[in-house]
Amino acid sequence: LSAEPSRASGARASRARAVALHPLTALLVFAFLQAVAWTIVIPAFQAPDEDAHFAYVQQLVEHHRVPNTTNPGSPYSTDFIIASGWGNLEPTRGAPEARTAWTPAEEKAWQEQAKTLTQTERGNGLGGNPAAQNPPLYYVYSSVAYWLGLHTSSASFFTRLELMRLANVPLYLATILFTWLLAFEVLRRRWCATLAASVVALQPKFGYVAGGVSPDVALAAEWSAFIYVGVRIVSYGATWLRVLALAALGAAALLTQPRSAAVIPIALVLIALAPRERLRPVRVALLLGGVAVAAIAYLSVVTLPGWVKSPSTLHPAQFLSYLWQFYLPRLPGMAPMIGPPYGAATAWVNRFFGDFGWLEIPFSTSVYSALRWGSALLVVVLLAGLVVYRDAVRARWRVVLALVATVVLELLVLHYAAFESLLTNPGDPILTGRYLFPLISIWGLAIAAAVSVFPRVVRAPGAAAVLGAAAMLDVLAFVIVIERFYE
Amino acid sequence: MSRAGVIAVVAATLAGALVVFVPHMRSRVVSDGTPVPQPLITLMLYPVPAHSAACMDSVAVEPGHQLALVDIRTQRLAPPLLFTVRGQSYSQTYRLPKGSISGPIVFPFQGPRRSQLTTVCIRNLDKGDVALVGTNEPRTLSRPRMTIGGAPADGEFSLAFRSANGESTFKLAGTVADRIAAFKPAFVQPWLVVVLLALVLVGSFAVPLLALWRSFVLDERQ
């Protein structure tokens, strides 16, 4: 009898040791430290649209209302304007030679002025906020950190902002976790899962965006989990639990950003690809009914973005031409592409990996050139892998098709939204690299899959070389961001 | 992974790191603040009449030997200009002789012992014409308020401070940590910044590679 408890505690200790030594644990600890470092290194409001996102949350907490896009006046409270003035935050946005304030004299002056502020002055930014077109889920999540800071320790403006940024860390870690799970599910090798999760953890722009107040990191987490559950459905069948999880994650993505509209067709494709024995007509009917109810409920509470048009206003030929020229050179006889000369190389490479701040902090052109070649090589190797390992691909065709469909449908929705916007405002190409973060787990998986295409003897050094390059890029991002803001 | 493979990957990573990071380790001139940045789109010119001054208040100045950078426009050669920076029991002046041409000019000065808010003035000491380049864009207008000849003026002249001498990366580390920790919660101390960044620097290379190695070991065991 006395041996039982000691055996149980021994098993617990063994399990704890296994968890501690698990590659994913080390990776998550590193990712945690890195995410915290980004939240500290980025000066206030020097991450994309962070000022608008902060103002949204401040309205939610201080005024108990969701802001709108049209109210007259400033969306920024007196609290915000005073902090921004002493911190030199607004003039620094996008101006490479400008610096945010850092002297103790300015900080002291701000603290003295901030002490005199009242609750009303924290909530008086009632003007139209461009972020108000987003549904409120992420902002409600972020407002917990703001509220806790305010009501537990009367946190200052910059402390509340830092707490909101730190609230992103679990979302960032969740993205890495689900990338690991997805890659392990698809490729069935720990090293592949570790490689996929590592490149996501070392993706510099993702770290940067996660370091600011932004719904993009929430989207990445929701989509990564959504894709993982979807692949489980495609692999093992559509159980109630999996379908509910898929629906909940899809709904969360929709309630975070209208850009997630693609989750609806993707969810339907994933369910349709599930093994047939699990797909009973009653379940399908219930599922489609549920999707319809959810879509109606969503449309009744969320203002549709401007790019949602009736089919009569579509321009299919022009859209296809735009799509072609976004990725490939213009063909003879093809009309010039709508909008500025802006294609995949800039949007999906430069801005996916770099162009930090408000796009004013680029990597060098040689780095971008290397990243473009690397991205092209990734596509070529994956295509070669599909041919070389065609038997294995055929055996898991549902999963491959599900992943491809996810990428294609999301890209189509993004391009369609951008195209519709270009029809009314040809100056703004809309698309930017962080819009791909919902697909970042598939990107990590693709890199791991590409390395696994190579012969066995090359895989380990190849994977290590990829990680070495990714680490260099990651550290270089910290270096250029620190040089830009603090030197 | 074979020993030769490990050595090759480590050597390639080190070589790559040298190529990438050595240019960032050189001694360099750094910013000591940008009270008013250059405009993003529309350049404004603020003429400074003869024997009067353009001044800006609430300009934060740091300790150390620095250069104040101002951009001027002039029809011919600029008149002599007097740069003054005044704070609480702190004052510096520098007289730039006649003869500057349109473009950036610099005024060397010594910062106060501790950072403080000051008033910076540029005085036209003669009759010649000179205008200061500045901004009236809402996006680039900053905290300081400008007066010309004692009267409030719309806009601000662009002003930046640079260290007078180059500084090494290691000497800069403490300064950068102090700057990162400014306008942050109390728990963000300069030492925490240094520790975190050191962990990220080492961890970026070490952790994913060790995790990968461990994964290969676990895969082989199975």
**Residue of B191 and A298 predicted with greater confidence:** B191
Q: Residues B109-159: pLDDT tens digits?
A: 999 999 999 999 999 999 889 999 999 999 999 999 999 999 999 999 999
Q: Measure CA of the first residue to CA of the last residue in chain B; give whole Å.
A: 16
Residues of chain A neighbouring B20 (CB-CB closer than 8 A): 472, 476
Helix H or strand E encompassing A323:
helix A316-327
**Residue of A2 and B31 predicted with greater confidence:** B31
Q: Is A241 on the interface with B (CB under 8 A)?
A: no
Of the given ranges (A96-100, A296-300, A477-481, B39-43), which has the lowest mean pLDDT? A296-300
Q: Which of A95, A109, A483 is opposite residue B37, by nearest beta carbon?
A: A95
State the pLDDT confidence band at A300, using cuts at 50, 70 and 90.
Answer: low
Written as six digits, the tokens of A382 are 């994956």
Of the given ranges (A7-16, A205-214, A467-476), which has the lowest mean pLDDT? A7-16
The arithmetic mean of pLDDT across residues A131-139, rounded, is 95
Query: Has residue A482 got a pLDDT over 60?
Result: yes
Q: Is A327 on the interface with B (CB under 8 A)?
A: no
Of the given ranges (A189-198, A284-293, A461-470), which has the lowest mean pLDDT? A284-293
Q: Phi, psi (5° rounding) for residue B146?
A: -100, 140
Residues of chain B neighbouring A195 (CB-CB closer than 8 A): 212
Q: Residues A257-270: pLDDT tens digits?
A: 989 999 999 999 99
- pLDDT number for residue A291: 72
Cα–Cα distance measured from residue B204 to residue A468, given in angstroms and rounded to the nearest whole number = 9
Query: Has residue A380 got a pLDDT over 60?
Result: yes
Q: Is A111 on the interface with B (CB under 8 A)?
A: no
Q: Residues A29-86: pLDDT tens digits?
A: 999 999 999 999 999 999 999 999 999 999 999 999 999 999 999 999 999 999 999 9
Query: Has residue B17 got a pLDDT over 90?
Result: no
Q: Which of B9, B16, B139 is opposite residue A91, by nearest beta carbon?
A: B139
Exposure of B137 in the CB half-sphere (CA atoms within 13 A): 19
Q: Residues B153-169: pLDDT tens digits?
A: 999 999 999 999 888 88
Written as six digits, the tokens of B94 are 């520098």
Chain A residue with minimal CA distance to B174? A486
The arithmetic mean of pLDDT across residues B188-217, rounded, is 96
Residues of chain A neighbouring B202 (CB-CB closer than 8 A): none
The pTM is what?
0.92
Q: Residues A154-168: pLDDT tens digits?
A: 889 999 999 999 999
Edge-to-edge strand order for the sheet containing B151-152?
A: B90-96, B81-87, B116-124, B53-61, B146-148, B151-152
CA angle B53, B54, B60 (to 5 degrees): 120
- pLDDT number for residue A294: 74
Percent of chain A with pLDDT strictly greater than 70: 94
Alpha helices in A362-432 (DSSP H): 365-388, 390-395, 397-424
State the pLDDT confidence band at A3, using cuts at 50, 70 and 90.
Answer: low
Q: Is A468 on the interface with B (CB under 8 A)?
A: yes
**Residue of A25 and A303 predicted with greater confidence:** A25
Cα–Cα distance measured from residue B78 to residue B96, given in angstroms and rounded to the nearest whole number = 10
Chain A residue with minimal CA distance to B31? A487
Query: Has residue A187 got a pLDDT over 90?
Result: yes
Residues of chain A neighbouring B142 (CB-CB closer than 8 A): 85, 88, 91
Chain A residue with minimal CA distance to B159? A98
- pLDDT number for residue B31: 95
Q: Is A158 on the interface with B (CB under 8 A)?
A: yes
